[in-house]
Amino acid sequence: MTTALNPRFTFETFVVGAANRLAVTAGRTVAENPGSAYNPLFIYSGSGLGKTHVLMAVGHAAKAIAAQLNIEYLTLDEYVEAFHAAIAAGQGDAFRRRFQNVDVLLVDDVQFLTNRKEMQAELLRLTEALQQSGHQIVLASDRPPTEIADLDERLISRFSGGLVVDIGIPDYETRVAILRRKAEERGSSFQPGVLETVAKVEYPNVRELMGALNRLIAFQAVNDMPLNEEAVRKVLGIPSAAGSPTAASPTAASSPAASADEFSQFLTDVTATVGKAVEAWRARVTEAVMRWEGEGYRAGRLEKLLEQETPAAVDDAIAAYVQDVERLKALEAEVAVLDPQAAGDKVFRDPDHMDQAEAAAAKVRDGAAPPPAPSGAFPFDSFLMGPSNEVALNAARDVIAKPGKKYNPVVIVGRSGLGKTHLLNAIGLELAKKKNAVVACLSTQQFVDELIAAIDGNRVDWWRARYRRATALLLDDIQLLAGKERTQEELFNLFNQLVDADRQLIFTAPAHPNTLEGLEERIVSRLEGGLVAEIADPDKELRRSVLERLLTSQHVSIEPALLDYLADRPIDSVRSLTGIVQRVVEAAAAQDAPVTAGLARDVLEGAPAPRRSTGFRTSGIVVSSAGGVRSREKMVWDWPASGDRVIEDLR
C-alpha cells in the first residue's frame, strides 16, 4: 500500500539554497527528533520544487539515525484508497491501528483533501493519535493549509500548530549548483558558462530545469561536440543577450512578450554584475553567515570579516568558526541528554563565546545527579546457586558479560524472600564495574516517588535525563507500577530509549508480568518480550549452602545433624531460613549452650509462644508513648514457625 522511499531522495542529494533552507533544516530536525521537534511538519511549494524529495529525505535520515523506526511514506490518494479498501473489508479499526503505530508518517499531496470531509476527519483523528503517542507526521502540499479549499478548520489549526514551511523557487546561485550537481551525477561536463547560461533562465521549478539539462545532455551526446553558450541558447530557445544600447528596437520593446521579459533580462544582468562586483571571499563569508544563521547560530565573528576591506585568511576563519559550531553541537547534544531544558540555552548557539558554552556544559555535568546506584550490601559472590535459581543466575552472568545484547529486558520473578532483590543489586554492582557505566538500581516505589517529586518541582525533564544517561536500569518490584499511569508512561518511553541504545534493563516481580494486574499492555508485552527468569522456592541443596554460610558467619560449628535438621525444615524462602537460624543461635546464646540439632528442635518445635490474651485483633501497629509509630511485629523476638503464621493469617 505504501510507497518505498526513493533511495535517491536524501538530504545529501538535495541542493540547499535560500529558497529551501528552512524546509531542509526543519526536515533534518524532525528526522533527528521525531515526534518532539515540529509535529506536524507541513511543507508546501509549487510543483517540482522538491517537496517529495524533502519528505523522503526525512524518512531516510530518521531511518539512518534509528533503524528500528517504522517509517511510512504515501500519497494522500494512496491513503484514501487504502482506507476505502479497509472499510469495504470491514477492517476500519485495523487500518487505524496500523497507521497509529507508524513512528514517522510521511503524507504527500495533502492538497487533495479538498472536498473530502470523510478523509479530513480520518486524517484529523490520525494526526491527533500520532501526536499523542509521540509519533511524527510530516505532510506535503502544493499550497499552505489555509489555502486548501474546504479544509476543516480543526485540521488547519492542527497543521498550523506544528511548523508550516514553504520551498520557494531556487535563486540563480542555487540553480547553478543544482545544474552542476546533476550534470556531475550524470557524468556530463559542459564548457564554462554553459550551465550558468541555463541557470539565468527563471524556470518555474526544478523539474523544468532538469528538463533543460536533459536536453543539453542529449544534444551534446548526439552531436558529440561540446556545446558553447550560443548553442545552448539555440537548443533551449533562450533569447540572445541584449545587444548594444543603440540596437534596441522600438517594436521589440513595445510588444507584450518582449516587455514582460525586459525586467527578467534586467534582473539577470544585474545578477551577473553583482556576482562580479561582490568579491568572491565576501560571497563565501556571506554564504557561511546565511547558512549558520539559518541554523540558529550567531555569526558575529563572520560578519566582522565583512566589515573589513581585505581580511587575512578568510577560509581559515570560516573553518575555525565551523569547528566551534561543531563543538557547540557536541556540547548541546551532551547537555540535552543530561538536562533537555538546559540544552536550549542560547550559549550553545554563540560560537563567539565558547568559554560560556563550555562553562554551561560543565555546570550541567556537575549538576546532573546520578541515578540511585545498586546497594553494596548484595555482592554477586554472596548469591548462592542451586537448581531453584540456576536459570536466573546464569541469565545474570550472561547479562553481566554482554549487557544489553543477549537478554533485554530480564525479568526476575519469584515469591518474596527468594533473593530477587539480592540478585538485582548484585547484577547492578557487577555492571557498575564496567567503564563509563551509570547503573540505576532502585525500587519501583522510589522510582514513582522521584517522578512525583519531579512533577511537583517542575523538573520532569531533569528527572528523565538522569535515567536516560543510565547504561543499565534495574527496577525492583515492578508490580508496584500498578495504577501509576504516568509512571508507566514514563517508564515506557524510557524503556524504548534504553533498549534502542542497547542499555540493559532488569526488573523483579512476584509473578510473570502477564499475570500482574494494573500494568498497561504495552509495558507487559515489553517485559514478556525479554527473558523472564524464575526463582523457585529454595531447593535442599541451596538451603544447605545458605545454612552453612549463615552458621559459619555466626561462628557455629556445623554439625551434620544440625545441618540436616535445619535444611529439612519446611521453609519457603531464604529469608525464613535466615530467621530460624537467628532464633536458634539466640536461644543457644541465652541458654549458654552450644547450637545443636536438639536445641534447634526444642526451639523450633517447642511450645508455641504464649498468645496475647486480649480478645481482639489489631493491625500490629502500636503508637509509642514517646510518640511515633512502632511495628509490634518487629518487636517480637520469638517468631512463630512459618507454618503457624500461615494458619494464623488464614484464621
Partner 1 sequence: MSLVNFTAREITCKIVYYGPGRSGKTTNLHYVYERVPETRRGRMVSLATQTDRTLFFDFLPIDLGQISGFSTRFQLYTVPGQVYYNATRRLVLQGADGVVFVGDSQARQLDENIESLQNLQSNLLEHGVDVRTMPLVMQYNKQDLPRELILTPADLDDALNFRSVPSFPADALHGRGVFETLKGISELVLKKLATGSPAA
What are the DSSP E strand ranges found in 510-640? 531-534, 621-623, 629-631
Dist. CA 314–CA 306, nearest whole Å: 10
- Interaction between residue 311 and partner 1 (CB under 8 A): no
Sequence-distant (6+) residues with CB within 8 A of 490 are 451, 464
Q: At what angle do helices 560-567 and 574-591 cross, to 10 degrees?
A: 130
Please identify, among the stretches 50-58, 171-179, 218-226, 491-499, the one whose residues bind partner 1 according to the rule CB under 8 A. Answer: 171-179
CA distance 77 to 60: 22
Compute the distance between CA of residue 561 and CA of residue 340 in angstroms, rounded to an integer: 63
Q: How far is the CB of 144 from partner 1 (least distance, A)?
A: 17
Q: Which is nearer to partner 1, 33 or 286 (CB)?
A: 286
Min dist. Cβ of residue 240 to partner 1 (A)? 14
CB of 202 to partner 1, least distance (A): 11
| H or E stretch covering 410 | strand 410-413
Please report whether residue 312 would count as binding partner 1 according to CB under 8 A: no
According to DSSP, the β-strands at 531-534 and 410-413 are parallel
Give the closest residue to 294 by CA, choosing from 139, 165, 145: 165
Q: How far is the CB of 57 from partner 1 (least distance, A)?
A: 23
Residue type, 410: V
User: Nearer Cβ to partner 1, position 254 or 458?
Assistant: 254
Interactions with partner 1, residue window 550-609 (CB under 8 A): none
Q: What are 478's three cell numbers?
A: 515492578
- Candidates 81, 118, 184, 269: give the one binding partner 1 (CB under 8 A): 269
How many chain residues touch partner 1 (CB under 8 A)? 39
Closer of 262 and 568 to partner 1 (Cβ): 262
The one among 78, 128, 173, 295 contacting partner 1 by CB under 8 A: 173
Is residue 359 within the footprint of partner 1 (CB under 8 A)?
no
Select from 147, 184, 303, 500 the one that contacts partner 1 (CB under 8 A).
Answer: 303
Query: What's the start-to-end Cα distance of the chain, in Å?
Result: 64
- The residue (of 287 and 352) whose beta carbon lies closer to partner 1 is 287
Q: Which of 121, 274, 320, 369 touches partner 1 by CB under 8 A?
A: 274
Q: Is 223 in the site for partner 1 (CB under 8 A)?
A: no
With 0-12 / 13-18 / 19 or more C-beta atoms within 10 angstroms meaning exposed / middle / buried, residue 367 is: exposed
Nearer to partner 1 among residue 161 and residue 275 (C-beta): 275
From candidates 84, 118, 266, 377, binder to partner 1 by CB under 8 A: 266
- In terms of Cβ atoms closer than 10 Å to its own Cβ (0-12, 13-18, 19+), residue 210 is middle
Nearer to partner 1, 299 or 392 (CB): 299
- E-strand ranges in 157-282 read 163-167
Distance CA 635, CA 558 (A): 29
Instruction: Give exposure, 259-268, as e/b (b: 16+ Cβ within 10 Å).
Output: eeeeeeeeeb
- Grid coordinates in use for 47? 510543483
- Tell me which residue of 317, 502, 338 sits closest to 404, measured CA to CA: 502
CA 171 to chain centre: 36
Question: Contacts with partner 1 in 3-22 (CB under 8 A)?
Answer: 18
Q: Does 262 bind partner 1 (CB under 8 A)?
A: yes
Contact mark string toward partner 1, 115..154, x via CB under 8 A = ----------------------------------------
- 3-class DSSP state for residue 310? coil
Contact mark string toward partner 1, 226..245, x via CB under 8 A:
----------------x--x
Any contact of residue 278 with partner 1 (CB under 8 A)?
yes
Candidates 249, 514, 557, 591; binder of partner 1 (CB under 8 A) is 249
Instruction: Give Cα separations from 471 to 372, 412, 428, 468, 494 (angstroms).
Output: 13, 19, 10, 8, 12
Q: Is 352 in the site for partner 1 (CB under 8 A)?
A: no
Q: Using CB under 8 A, which of the segments 42-50, 103-111, 207-215, 302-310 binds partner 1? A: 302-310
**Which of 306, 354, 385, 432: binder of partner 1 (CB under 8 A)?**
306
Binding site for partner 1 (CB under 8 A): 18, 171-173, 242, 245-246, 248-250, 253-254, 259-260, 262-263, 265-267, 269-271, 273-279, 282-283, 286-287, 289-290, 303, 306-307, 309
